[in-house]
Chains A and B, each alone.
Chain A
Amino acid sequence: MGELLLMKGNEAVGEGAIIANCRYFFGYPITPQTEILEYLARRLPEVGGAYVQAESEISAINMVFGAAAAGARVMTASSSPGISLMQEGISYIASAELPAVIVNVMRGSPGLGGIHPSQADYNQSVKCGGHGDYKLIVLAPASVQELIDFTILAFELAEQYRTPVVLFSDGMMGQMMEPVLLPEINTTPVDRPWATTGMNGRSPNIIHTLYLPADDLGNHVKQLFAKYDQIAANEKRHTQFMVEDAEIIVVSYGITSRVAKAAVEMARENGIKAGLFRPVTLWPFPDKALKKAAENAQLLIDVEISMGQMRDDVRLAINDRLPVDLYNRIGLVPTPEEIYEFIKSRAREVL
């Protein structure tokens, strides 16, 4: 571990990528993501990598496809409308089984929306916004330190499973500054015998996504889903806080989970048995852990900066056994007081 540094969230993602040995970045400016682009435009040449400012997010994601096919660690970043433009390319990357990291610094939407923090792209990434049967690993950090750590984790998971990984940030986390420790990791050279690097004596490597015979397509998709089953078995992650005796459990991810934790503490100080369950992987969703955490609860409250896109996954995890309320703000991160007031009012009615 090195010294403690004060870093902005977007720059932390950039430095996390450098630490993870990512040497290629293709992107397009969009608020509130742009500092990732600016940071890597400066840093990548310093470490012998390459940065290309693409003419659109569509081109950026396809440059990612090419660089990943060529065997490189590669990343792109954008914000909600730009991530929408990347959906076709993400479907191709998933089908071609290429490792890549896609960062979404979510902003208000739909449409042009706004540039304030948002979590309204949950469905787009967790349920997969591109065409076809595929899955994406989706990681939800909640601090600038985690933006670094999870960027590194995203590369490791992408490489291990040869699959695209989405890292969720938002307009607040991208812009806020916090003290961070830059981890030192041992990067061992990765063998990518499948990469299209020029044959150099071997038989041709082909990376494609076309399977015209129905059986071939079926086998391909089934093989993808066998891999997804493995990911679901191995990679579900969450954290929880005071859930053991909790009667009300707040379920929240990313920036809102931190605010919700403060609200849960306020509730406890005021005699309400509240707890927090925070999914760290949104896909695979930590369903069994949530079901267990909710065993003694009477009410769950889903706190999000969206119209409740995660709520269906929460309800599924507990088999709809308990009511799942929604507390949300659109365009704003709720304050601890606001969430606490909601917990208090619901506690009065339900408990």
Chain B
Amino acid sequence: MPKGYSRPQTLIDKPWHFCPGCNHGIIHRLCAEVIDEMGLQNQTIGVGSVGCGVFSYEYFNFDGIGPSHGRAPAVATGVKRVLPDRLVFTYQGDGDLAAIGTTEMVHSAVRGENITIIFVNNTLYGMTGGQMAPTTLMGQVTTTTPGGRSRNQAGYPFRVCEMLATMEGAAYIARGAVYNPAQVVKTKKAIKKAFATQMAGLGFSLVEVLSACPTNWGMNPIQALKFVEENMVPVFPLGEFKVTPIEAGV
């Protein structure tokens, strides 16, 4: 009997290093499933990041690059200019992308660079132990906002999708989540659209995925998923912010 559900070909069979309840595993898997379905395993170059996603190249079964903190979109630009027909995507967290890598992210969109960013937003720096990120919610306690994020000290959460959607070079911008099966399915569709947008040569694409960090939030996995739905989604609303119809392309 054929298996209805098996490991994607582009996901290496090895144990995750992620904490229990972390959503990185689901998001890795979604990328792998989409690449399998699009038949792009042999034409994909993944560019990782620094943070909890740092080992993405150890899980994905395709060519991979480990860049420095925040510079993945610049590295991806270099790859894509040399190999314009390949699928080139970065996998970055919110510290990597929305703080130190803001410039590289914004200017990749400005250039309409034909790359995709998978942006995993868990509201803090996970790998270094839960410090405030630009995406930390107001009042949220982190190790560097022990009294909760306050306007006077640290300003407001950074909404990446809303900003990038204003740019002409951005072809597809969406935000998803993986706190329940319905959202997992929607997020997978968004990733597929983003990769298809790139393969059609339409320009820059980014999919933000809201992700639970039970360890650094001090919650159990169920509470953490609930936190995403109840506390993150109101600040980071889900949906598509910019869509370029693929038929319109090239």
Q: Is the CB of B79 within 8 A of A70?
A: yes
Binds B, one of A200-208, A217-225, A269-277, A336-344: A200-208
CA distance in complex: A208, B47 (Å): 10
CB distance from B14 to the nearest CB of A (A): 13
CA distance in complex: A207, B76 (Å): 13
Binds A, one of B67-75, B150-158, B169-177, B201-209: B67-75
Q: Is the CB of A204 within 8 A of B47?
A: no
CB distance from B72 to the nearest CB of A (A): 8
Contact bitstring B38-81, A, C-beta under 8 A = 1, else 0? 00011111011000001001101111111110010011111111
- Pick the residue among A60, A62, A71, A204 that contacts B82 (CB under 8 A): A71
Give residues 71-129 of B contacting A (CB, 8 Å): 71, 74-83, 86, 103-104, 106-107, 110-111
Give residues 64-84 of A contacting B (CB, 8 Å): 64-72, 74
A92 within 8 A of B: yes
A190 within 8 A of B: no
Beyond A198-B63, A198-B83, is A66–B104 a contact (Cβ under 8 Å)?
no
When distances are taken between beta carbons in the complex, the residues of chain B under 8 Å from A24 are 78, 81-82
CB distance from B77 to the nearest CB of A (A): 5
CA distance in complex: A55, B110 (Å): 10
Q: Is the CB of A70 within 8 A of B61?
A: no
- Pick the residue among A56, A196, A201 that contacts B45 (CB under 8 A): A196
CA distance in complex: A54, B81 (Å): 13
Residues of A in contact (CB 8 Å), total 38
Q: Is the CB of A196 within 8 A of B68?
A: no
Q: Is the CB of B67 within 8 A of A197?
A: no
Closest to A208 in B: B66
Q: Is the interface of B mostly helix, strand, loop or mixed?
A: helix
When distances are taken between beta carbons in the complex, the residues of chain A under 8 Å from B76 are 66
Beyond A50-B81, A65-B78, A68-B78, is A199–B63 a contact (Cβ under 8 Å)?
yes
CA distance in complex: A13, B58 (Å): 39
CB distance from A61 to the nearest CB of B (A): 8
Q: Is the CB of B74 within 8 A of A198?
A: no
- Pick the residue among A52, A64, A74, A208 that contacts B65 (CB under 8 A): A208
A63 within 8 A of B: yes
Task: Give 11 pairs: A residue, B residue, CB < 8 Å, sorted on A.
Answer: A59-B74, A64-B78, A66-B79, A72-B82, A198-B45, A199-B41, A204-B57, A206-B63, A206-B64, A208-B48, A208-B65
Q: Name the residue among B48, B60, B77 with the largest chain A CB count within 10 angstroms.
A: B77
Q: Is the CB of B44 within 8 A of A198?
A: yes
Residues of B in contact (CB 8 Å), total 37
CB distance from A153 to the nearest CB of B (A): 23
Q: Is the CB of A201 within 8 A of B63?
A: no
CA distance in complex: A63, B65 (Å): 12
CB distance from A54 to the nearest CB of B (A): 7
CB distance from A124 to the nearest CB of B (A): 18
A316 within 8 A of B: no
A89 within 8 A of B: yes
Q: Is the CB of B65 within 8 A of A199?
A: no
Closest to B84 in A: A50
CA distance in complex: A42, B78 (Å): 19
Closest to B111 in A: A52
A210 within 8 A of B: yes
CB distance from A22 to the nearest CB of B (A): 12
Contact bitstring A176-209, B, C-beta under 8 A = 1, else 0? 0000000000000000000011111100111111
Q: Is the CB of B83 within 8 A of A70?
A: yes
Known A65-B67, A206-B58; 12 more pairs at CB < 8 Å: A52-B77, A54-B74, A59-B74, A67-B78, A67-B82, A196-B45, A198-B42, A198-B43, A198-B44, A198-B63, A198-B86, A199-B62
Q: Is the CB of B79 within 8 A of A69?
A: yes
Beyond A71-B82, A198-B45, A201-B42, is A66–B63 a contact (Cβ under 8 Å)?
no
When distances are taken between beta carbons in the complex, the residues of chain A under 8 Å from B78 are 24, 26, 62-70, 74
- Pick the residue among B43, B58, B60, B75 that contacts A63 (CB under 8 A): B75
Q: Is the CB of B45 within 8 A of A197?
A: yes
Closest to B71 in A: A62
When distances are taken between beta carbons in the complex, the residues of chain B under 8 Å from A59 are 71, 74, 77, 103-104, 107
A88 within 8 A of B: yes
